[in-house]
Amino acid sequence: MDKTMLTLSQQRCAVREYTSQQVPDEVLQYILEVARLSPSAVNYQPWHIVVIRGEELLCRMAAEVYPRQWFSTVPCCVVVCGNHNESWRRSSDGKDHCDIDVAIVTQQMVLAAAEQGVATCWVCNFDVDACKRLLQLPQEVEPIVLLPIGYPASLPSTEKQRKSIDDIVTWL
């Protein structure tokens, strides 16, 4: 599929209802390769990605980590984690760029998924401690984003409610 970034950005939408159809391995591998090539501050790549496809673990995620009805329909969930011990910190103020780097890698996966014809939904409002326990993540690894990936049961409107260019850009 040959889609431009603008087209992908226009078509991408948050999907909260999925079919049970599994995402093929080659599609997931493509999305993960795009993630692997993502930029990060000073190229530190402080992310770790957990792919959950097993039905039992997905059910436990839906029950213990993000108990929403729609989440129980997800055939695959990618947990994007950050390692604050591996992230770059700006010397002038010590700002940790881990969350920024994780946001970049997540958005790369979102657009790669859209290019491949599968849907996603950023989820950040989940029980982080329950997620860490369930996935047995090391202390230094923080789950930051849950990214369900699958085929949409229905597509919500892709019409975007966005500020105008003039509201967000200053030309000097």
pLDDT at 10: 81
For the chain, how many helices (H) and strands (E)? 6, 4
114 and 82 in contact (C-beta within 8 Å)? Answer: no
> Does the pLDDT at position 89 exceed 70?
yes
105 and 60 in contact (C-beta within 8 Å)? Answer: no
DSSP string, 122-141: -B--S-HHHHHHHHT--TTE
What confidence category does residue 1 fall into, taking pLDDT thresholds of 50, 70 and 90?
low
CATH 3.40.109.10 fits 19-155, yes or no: yes
> For residue 72, how many other CB atoms are within 10 A of its CB?
14
- Residue 55 burial class via C-beta count within 10 angstroms: exposed 0-12, middle 13-18, buried 19 and up: exposed
What pLDDT digit, counting tens, does each position of 43-68 carry? 999 999 999 999 999 999 999 999 99
Domain boundaries, the chain: 19-155
> Does the pLDDT at position 96 exceed 60?
yes
> Does the pLDDT at position 22 exceed 60?
yes
pLDDT at 168: 83
14 and 122 in contact (C-beta within 8 Å)? Answer: yes
What pLDDT digit, counting tens, does each position of 36-47 carry? 999 999 999 999
Assigned token pair, 59: 């059910």
